[in-house]
Amino acid sequence: MMGIVSHIHCGDYDVIAVSSETGIPEAGDSFALEGVYCREVFQKKRTVAITEVDGVPGMSLHPLYSGIPCEFYISAPIIVSGDVWGTLNFTSLEKREIPFSEDDILFIEAQALRLSNELAKSA
């Protein structure tokens, strides 16, 4: 339903590119990192995959959930020069009936790595 490439810097989460059935968010939008699910990906420098956000204790209290009640979420860090530059993530308002597979996780990590390599070339 929604795919986003973000750039994270100085506590901000900037939407660089997006494909969304809802039209929200749009490229150029900026949010506080503390208010988005990708905060954990940024802090831990690792992929996060959740099949039902409402099923994770405390996640339905997340500030983003009240505005955009996304149910599934998968995100991988985009790492440039050893630092998290941003994230690649996919979300949906629909619950995911099956857990993310190892192949799903490997796929998003490969795509994030591809973005990392392209950004490193242009740096």
Please give the biggest Cα pair distance in the chain.
Answer: 41
- 52-99 confidence digits (pLDDT tens): 555 554 444 445 544 555 667 899 999 999 999 999 999 877 777 788
- Place 24 in a pLDDT band, splitting at 50, 70 and 90: confident
- 2-12 confidence digits (pLDDT tens): 899 999 999 99
Higher per-residue pLDDT: 121 or 72: 121
Structural domains in the chain, CATH included, are 2-122 (3.30.450.40)
Cβ atoms within 10 A of the Cβ of 85, count? Answer: 22
Amino acid at 45: K
The total number of residues written for the chain in this structure? 123
